[in-house]
Structure 1
């Protein structure tokens, strides 16, 4: 059987003007994972990344720390994260009717982490329900279809025992969980909130049959005994 390693990007710049930038911790997490995979003797036959900077920089950090032969990272934007800022903006007018302070929370998310998570969860539930689709906004169903297209392209080109690394994001991994194990979107997002930066989830495949082998492994971070490296956004 072949393996697909779904690697979430390192910690990004939560609360900054540009979230799509790895933080210093994000770069450190990437290097730690690369060293760990190298110690285990895990190598990749192919590496694929979404088009986002935080995904590609994570790929460079991980692969740069591995002693295996260098290889190019293919880019497939099917593995990009959904645009959370656009989802928030589209649903904000409805939210403000019951949560008048929501705009301030979203503008100053780093100072209101718990309240941000509560409101963001509410917005995500509206989005994935399919009952509040907005014109011009990628729906949850369209997002899942995009991710499915990326998975199908991986499988079409895969050799029987390939080990494929996919550097991606939490929402994309959530969509893949729904596709692979048939979990309801609302339940998938309960798992989404637990996905740790640079954690590894493994899929096994034989032809077009895909199964989940492991989820959210972060032993590489735990073994450092540095709790500050275990982050969720």
Structure 2
């Protein structure tokens, strides 16, 4: 059987002007991941990343750490099918309908870096309404379109995979949630309940034979736990 490793990107710059940049902690997480995979002597046949900067940079730092440890690494391939859903678009589309019951929502979301728990609470409500289809048809990528995009990317990987191959996919939490939904048939709500637990640079393992895929492990974070550096365990 082959192995597909779903790796969430390192910590991005939440609250900064450009979120899509790894923070210094995100760089350290990515390097720690690569060093750990090298210690496991994991030999990757392919490495695929979405085209978001945080996904590409996480892959680059991790593979550089593997290479520095003497492990041969493949080139990074890009497939936008593994991009995250449009979180900003979800907020723009769902916020107006939330204001009647959450009059402070706009201010909380604007200053999310200083009020993370309230930001997460409101964001989770909007994501739930998004995947339930409770929003206007305003050009926002729907949950159904998002999962179809992700499924197309997964099928491309499986169709080109060799038996027993190891493939790393550097992606995002929402994309991993969509893959869990597709592979295990859990509901979108259950998939996002798991999504909120995925730490930066954790990896989940799928086993595959042909197009048959099964979940083997979820949200592995040994690479940061073994360092005994709690600051490297982040969720956003």
Measured after TM superposition, the shift of residue 99 of structure 1 is 1.2
**Structure 2: distance between partners of 1:133 and 1:163:** 41
Q: Does 1:14 align with 2:1?
A: no
Alpha carbons 1:133, 1:139 under 8 Å: kept = no
Q: Does 1:204 align with 2:207?
A: yes
Alpha carbons 1:47, 1:164 under 8 Å: kept = yes
**Structure 1: distance between partners of 2:197 and 2:160:** 31
**Structure 1: distance between partners of 2:42 and 2:231:** 25
Matches of residues 40-189 of structure 1 in structure 2 within 5 Å?
Answer: 40-66=40-66, 67-189=70-192
Alpha carbons 2:52, 2:83 under 8 Å: kept = yes
**SS at the partner of 1:137?**
coil
Q: Bigger CA drift: 62-71 or 149-158?
A: 62-71
Measured after TM superposition, the shift of residue 133 of structure 1 is 4.4
Counterpart position of 2:29: 29
**Structure 1: distance between partners of 2:51 and 2:123:** 24
**Structure 2: distance between partners of 1:94 and 1:195:** 28
Counterpart position of 2:232: 229
Measured after TM superposition, the shift of residue 134 of structure 1 is 3.0
Measured after TM superposition, the shift of residue 70 of structure 1 is 3.9
Structure 1 unaligned spans of 5+: none
Alpha carbons 1:90, 1:134 under 8 Å: kept = no
Alpha carbons 2:9, 2:200 under 8 Å: kept = yes
Alpha carbons 1:178, 1:185 under 8 Å: kept = yes
**SS at the partner of 2:151?**
helix
**Structure 1: distance between partners of 2:73 and 2:43:** 11
Measured after TM superposition, the shift of residue 16 of structure 1 is 1.1
Measured after TM superposition, the shift of residue 55 of structure 1 is 0.2
Number of positions where the alignment pairs a residue of Structure 1 with one of Structure 2: 233
Structure 2 unaligned spans of 5+: none
1:145–1:133: structure 2 CA closer, same or farther, 3 Å change rule?
farther
Structure 1 stretches of at least 4 aligned residues deviating more than 6 Å after TM superposition: none
The Cα offsets for residues 25-78 of structure 1, whole Å up to 9 and x where unpaired, read as 000000001111101111100000000000000000100001222421110000
The Cα offsets for residues 193-221 of structure 1, whole Å up to 9 and x where unpaired, read as 00010001000000110000000000010
